A and B are shown apart, each in its own frame.
Chain A
Amino acid sequence: MERRGEIDMATEGDVELELETETSGPERPPEKPRKHDSGAADLERVTDYAEEKEIQSSNLETAMSVIGDRRSREQKAKQEREKELAKVTIKKEDLELIMTEMEISRAAAERSLREHMGNVVEALIALTN
C-alpha cells in the first residue's frame, strides 16, 4: 500500500463514494435503461480494469507451503468419498424412475441412489422428506 501522510482521523480523501446517485433529466442518454438513471457513468467505472495492487512479503514461502498441504488433504478426502460412492451398483430403471417421479437431474438422482446403497425405495422416501 502506498504511504500517506500521518493522519489520525478517518476522513481521508480515499474514501470515495463512487456510487452516488444523481437526478437525471429526460435528455440524458440512458446508457443502461434497465437501471434507474443514477450514477450510470460511475457504475461503468466499476468494470474498469485496474492494476492489481502488489504486496511486499518475504515470508510467502511458508504460507504457501501450509496452503499446499491443506489442499492435498482436502483433495484426498473428496476423492475417497467419490470412490466409495462409485462402488455402489445401481439399476438404470431405478435411476430413470427417480428422475421422472421427482423431476430432478440425472446427477442428483444418481447421487441419491448411490447414497442409499442402490435401494430405490429408501432413496425415494428420503427425497420426499
Chain B
Amino acid sequence: MPNVQLPPKESNLFKRILKCYEQKQYKNGLKFCKMILSNPKFAEHGGWHVYGLLQRSDKKYDEAIKCYRNALKLDKDNLQILRDLSLLQIQMRDLEGYRETRYQLLQLRPTQRASWIGYAIAYHLLKDYDMALKLLEEFRQTQQVPPNKMDYEYSELILYQNQVMREADLFQESLEHIETYEKQICDKLLVEEIKGEILLKLGRLKEASEVFKNLIDRNAENWCYYEGLEKALQISTLEERLQIYEEISKQHPRAITPRRLPLTLVPGERFRELMDKFLRVNFSKGCPPLFTTLKSLYYNTEKVSIIQELVTNYEASLKTCDFFSPHENGEKEPPTTLLWVQYFLAQHFDKLGQYSLALDYINAAIASTPTLIELFYVKAKIYKHIGNLKEAAKWMDEAQSLDTADRFINSKCAKYMLRANMIKEAEEMCSKFTREGTSAMENLNEMQCMWFQTECISAYQRLGKYGDALKKCHEVERHFFEITDDQFDFHTYCMRKMTLRAYVDLLRLEDILRRHAFYFKAARSAIEIYLKLYDNPLTNESKQQEMNSENVSAKELKKMLSKQRRAQKKAKLEEERKHAERERQQKNQKKKRDEEEEEASGFKEELIPEKLERVENPLEEAVKFLIPLKNLVADNIDTHLLAFEIYFRKGKFLLMLQSVKRAFAINSNNPWLHECLIRFSKSVSNHSNLPDIVSKVLSQEMQKIFVNKDLESFNEDFLKRNATSLQHLLSGAKMMYFLDKSRQEKAIALATRLDETVNDKNVKTLIKVSEALLDGSFGNCSSQYEEYRMACHNLLPFTSAFLPAVNEIDSPSVALNHTANYDVLANEI
C-alpha cells in the first residue's frame, strides 16, 4: 500500500477494510470498498488496488483485472499491483496481457530472477521459442553455478530450458545442451531418455540403439524403450524383431515384456508354440492378471481359438493327472494350477459371451477354493455382463466380505451396488472407510471422490430421481471449478521453487481439465436430465407421478403410493434424526464455518434436489454444462449430438446446423446422428418464416449432407447401408415411423429383427430396442413389445430385463424393487 495521509474518516474506513481482508470477510470488505471508491478523492489512495484484491479473493477474476488496470492508470509503476495483475492474467490465460505485464516487471526490476523467468514462460506459452530461449539463456548465465556442483534448482532450470528447445524442434542444440550440463542434472534417467529420443530424431541410429539398450537393461518392462530400440535398429522383418526379444529375454529371464510382445506379432503355429510356453509358466506360477495381460489379443479370432484349445486341454488334463498334457512326466503341478486355469477359462468364455460356460468354470473354481476374492470378483463380473445387476452386486458383496480391510474390493462392491440402483447400500458400504462424524455422501463429496459421484448420478437417473442426480452433477462440476481455482497459488510458488517443467505441465493440464471422463459423464447426464425436464417439467404435485404409473393398475398404484408414503415418512424421521445429530456435532464449528463460507462466497450455495429439478430454464442450465464439452471434447461425437438436442428445443437453427455438421465430420454413419439429421430437416421445412439469411445458410450447407435427396430416400439408403447392424436398423426404423406413421408395422418389424443376418444382438442393444418399443418411438405397440421380450428372453435367458413379468408390473423402465422373483430364477442357473 502506498503511504499517504488520509483524512480521519477515510483512514478509519481504510483500516476497517484491511481488517476485513485479514479476517477473510470479503463480502463486508467489498461493501466498504465500494463506499470509499464512490468518493473520487480516495480513489487515488490505493482504493482500486484494495478493491482488486478483494475481488480476487472473491474469485471474481475478471472484475479484479479491471480494478487493477484502473489502479495502474493512477500508479503506473506500482510493483505490487503489477505482480498481482500478472497472476490474474495467467490464471485467466490472458497470455498476451501476461507477457505485457511481465515485461513491465522486468523493466522495473531487472535484477530479480522471477522477472526473467516469468517473462520467459510467457513467451514459451505463446510458442515464441526464440525469445523464450534467449531469455532463459541470459538468465542461466547469471546463475554462476560452477560445473562440479549439483543444485536442484539449477538442474530444473536446465531441464526446462531443454524442454523448450525440444518443443522448438531444435534437436541438435538440445543434444549439445544436455551433454554439456549432464553432470549437473539430478534426474539421470530423464537425461538418458532425452538423449535416446533426440538421437533418433537426428538419425544417429547406432548411438540411439546403445542408449535404448542401456535403458532396457535398466528397466526391461517399459514398452517405449523397445519401440525406441526397434526404430534405432531399423528392424523391418519379424525374424529380426523376435531375435531381439529372445536376446533380451536371455539377459532378463524374469522380465514379462520380452515374452509378451512377441505374442502380438507372430501368427499361426509359431504363436501356438510361444503361447503354450507363456501360459504354462504363468499358470504354474499362479499369475492372477494373466487374462488381463492377454485380453488385447482377442480381436484376432485365430489366436482366440488357439488359446481356447490350449487352455481347455490343460484343464482336462490337470483334472485327471496333474500335468498340462497327458503324456508328460517330471514334477506334477500343484492343485493351484488347475485353479488358475479354471479362473482363466471363466474370463475367457465371459469375454466371448458364452456366459453359461463361464459360470460353470468359475463355480468349479469356487468349489475348490471358496475363500479367494478374485473368484467372486469374476463371478460378479459375469453376471454384470449377463445383465443381472442385482446378482452381480450380491457376488461382489460376497467378495468384499472376505477382506473388509481391502478398500479396492470395498469400492468395487459399492460401484456394483450403484449399478444395481442400491444407493443406500452403496453408501453404507463406503462408510466402512470414510471419516467418522459425517455421512459417507458428504465425506465422499469433500474428498472429491468422483467415481462414486458419477455412478450415483447414473443410478439416480435410472430411478428417475432427477433432483438428486442434478445435485451430484453440480457437485462434480464444483470439484472441477475448485481444481481450476487451486492453481492460483502455484503461479508464484513454482517460480520461486524453480520447478518450471512441473509448472508448465500443470498449466497445460488445467487448460484441458474438463476433458476428463468424470466431467464428461456428469455433463452428459446433466444435459440428458435437463432435456427430460424441459420435455416433461415437474410441477409441485408431480412428485407422486414420478413413478411412471401408466403401466400399473389402479390397485397396484394405490398399494405403491401408500407404501411410498410410509417409506417417505420413515425416511423423513431418519433424516431428521441424522440432521439433529449432525447439528449437535457441528455446533462447535459453526462460527468458523460461517467465516469460511464468507471466504468462498458464492460457492457454498446449497444444492437442493427439489429446487434443481424445478429450475426455470433447464435448457440454459444444460448449455452451461455443454460449453466446456464443445471447447474441450469436440472430437467426441456425443458432444455435438447432445448439443443438437439442446438447440433443437431452443429453436436455434444455425446452432443445430453447427452441431450436425461437426458430428457428420466425425462419423457420418452414426445412428443417433441419423435421427438428428432427419428431425432437423423436417423441422427446417416446417418453419417457413425463418430470416432470409438463415434460410440461405441452411439450404447451402444442408445440401452438402442430404445431396437433394428427400427424407424417405435418405432413410432408405441408410437402412440399406447398414442392413446387418441392429443399432442402425433401430434408428432407421424409428425414422421410418417418424416420417410416416402409417408404416408402423413395417418399422416395428424392422427394429425387432433377430435373424442371423443381424450382427450385434447383445444385451445392450436388445435392451435399447425394447426401451424404444415402450417409450413411444413406435407409437402404441404393447403387444409387439411383449412378443419381442419373449424372443429376447429365449436368446438371453439370464438377462433381468427380459425375464417374464410377475405381478402386473411388467415394464423394465419402472425401477421398483421387484427382483424377489428374479433372484429365484437367477439362483436356478
Contacts and interface: CB of A to CB of B under 8 A. Distances in A.
Interface of A: 1, 4, 6-10, 12, 14-15, 26, 29, 32-36, 43, 46-47, 50, 52-57, 59-60, 63-64, 66-67, 70-71, 94, 97, 101-103, 120-121, 124-125, 127-129
B113 A55 contact: yes
A84 to B, nearest CB: 18
B152 A15 contact: yes
Contacts of A29: 589, 592
Given A4-B149, A14-B153, A55-B113, A26 B654 contact: no
Interface stretch (B102-110, B158-166, B331-339): B102-110
Given A53-B112, A55-B113, A103-B652, A63 B446 contact: no
B480 to A, nearest CB: 13
A9 B151 CA distance: 9
Given A14-B152, A26-B437, A55-B113, A127 B489 contact: no
A121 B699 CA distance: 11
8 contacts: A4-B151, A6-B149, A12-B152, A36-B447, A46-B492, A56-B111, A57-B142, A64-B110
A4 to B, nearest CB: 7
Nearest to A15: B152
B446 A54 contact: no
B110 A70 contact: no
A125 B698 CA distance: 9
B112 A55 contact: yes
B138 A10 contact: no
Interface in B223-266: none
Nearest to A64: B110
Interface string B271-313: 0000000000000000000000000000000000000000000
Secondary structure of the A contact surface, majority rule: loop
A7 B496 CA distance: 22
A117 B706 CA distance: 29
Contact of A34 (B148, B489, B490, B600): B600
Nearest to A71: B103
Contacts of B447: 36
A71 B693 CA distance: 43
A121 B482 contact: no
Nearest to B494: A46
Given A53-B112, A55-B113, A124-B697, A63 B150 contact: no
Contacts, number: 132
B138 A63 contact: yes
Interface of B: 103, 106-107, 109-114, 116, 119, 131, 134-135, 138-139, 141-145, 148-155, 186, 435-437, 446-448, 482, 486, 489-490, 492-493, 496, 589, 592-593, 596, 600, 623, 652-655, 657-658, 661-662, 691, 693-694, 696-697, 700-701
Max chain A CB contacts within 10 Å: which of B109, B142, B143, B486? Answer: B142
Nearest to B653: A101
A70 B131 contact: yes
Given A1-B151, A14-B153, A128-B697, A55 B142 contact: yes
Contacts of B489: 43, 46-47
Contacts of A10: 150, 152, 155, 186
B113 A120 contact: no
A26 B701 CA distance: 62
A127 B658 contact: yes
A62 B2 CA distance: 33
B109 A52 contact: yes
B436 A53 contact: no
A102 B654 contact: yes
Nearest to B114: A52
Q: State the 3 A-B residue pairs at the shortest beta-carbon distance, nearest first.
A: A10-B186, A128-B658, A55-B142
Max chain A CB contacts within 10 Å: which of B119, B490, B593, B596? Answer: B596
Contacts of B435: 26
B22 to A, nearest CB: 13
Nearest to B696: A121
A26 B621 CA distance: 37
A1 B103 contact: no
A52 B110 CA distance: 12
A8 B152 CA distance: 11
Given A34-B482, A128-B657, A66 B150 contact: no
